[in-house]
């Protein structure tokens, strides 16, 4: 994969593959593991979370996948997010089956801090919220993620949207920095979450 043309819009038929890639990529992620209930069904809950995020982005943003189906990204256009019965049902499912009732307060607090920081930085400008980006573990380290991120940065610029993302994985910061993303805020959710923009 070497240019923007290698990135295509995903369809509902790509959902299982996207969920597979992202679940493997985020298995050990602090934010994801804070969100999902930690029990014997943790891995299944991570897959459900990625399915939830896929559906949210299909309704309020976009899902992209490489033509070779080895990497993908979920993007939200935050200003498009609005009430729908589909999203209400997804949120209920998230609360009951993925996070668990006892975990939801902590999750909502973190999400509120992230959303507020993004809104303060964007100041009403349209955003390109790169929610999840992942590469199949079998091809990690071969440049797939770099090519996809380059394409996403180019698309956000062409659309005139401020690209925003957050990560709790400190070792990913140098990777993002080499593409020109800068940390604009760090929040404490019991662990540091780095908010970046481009």
- Quickly count: other Cβ atoms within 10 Å of residue 182's Cβ: 10
The answer to whether 31 and 168 are in contact (CB under 8 A) is yes
* Rounded Cα gap, residues 153 and 85, in angstroms: 32
DSSP 63-102: EEEETTSSEEEEEE-GGG----HHHHHHHHHIIIIII-GG
Question: How much is the pLDDT for 107?
Answer: 83
Chain-centroid distance of CA 185 in Å reads: 18
Are the C-beta atoms of residues 78 and 118 closer than 8 Å to each other?
yes
Q: How confident is the model at residue 1 (pLDDT cuts 50, 70, 90)?
A: very low
CA 148-34-37 angle, 5° bins: 115
Give the HSE-up count for residue 157: Cα atoms under 13 Å, Cβ half-sphere.
10
pLDDT mean across residues, the chain:
93
Dist CA 160 CA 117 (whole Å): 20
**CA gap 193, 187 in Å, rounded:** 5
Global pTM?
0.93
Q: List, for residues 137-165, the tens digit of each pLDDT value.
A: 999 989 999 999 999 999 999 999 999 99
> What are 68-103's pLDDT values in tens digits?
999 999 999 989 998 899 999 999 998 889 998 888
For 55-70, how does the pLDDT look when each residue is reduced to its tens digit (9 = 90+)? 999 999 999 999 999 9
Split at pLDDT 50, 70, 90, the class of 2 is very low
């Amino acid at each position: 994969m070497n240019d923007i043309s290698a990135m295509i819009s995903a369809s509902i038929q790509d959902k299982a593959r996207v969920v597979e890639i992202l679940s493997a990529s985020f298995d050990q992620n602090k934010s994801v593991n804070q969100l999902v209930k930690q029990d014997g069904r943790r891995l299944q809950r991570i897959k459900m979370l990625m399915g939830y995020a896929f559906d949210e982005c299909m309704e309020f943003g976009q899902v992209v996948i490489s033509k070779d189906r080895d990497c993908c990204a979920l993007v939200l256009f935050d200003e498009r997010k609005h009430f729908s019965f589909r999203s209400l049902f997804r949120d209920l499912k998230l609360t009951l089956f993925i996070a668990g009732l006892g975990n939801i307060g902590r999750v909502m607090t973190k999400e509120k801090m992230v959303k507020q920081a993004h809104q303060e930085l964007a100041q009403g400008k349209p955003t390109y919220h790169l929610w999840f980006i992942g590469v199949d573990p079998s091809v990690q380290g071969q440049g797939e993620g770099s090519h996809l991120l380059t394409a996403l940065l180019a698309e956000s610029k062409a659309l005139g949207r401020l690209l925003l993302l957050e990560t709790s994985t400190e070792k990913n910061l140098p990777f993002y920095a080499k593409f020109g993303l800068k940390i604009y805020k760090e929040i404490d959710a019991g662990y540091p979450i780095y908010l970046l923009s481009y």
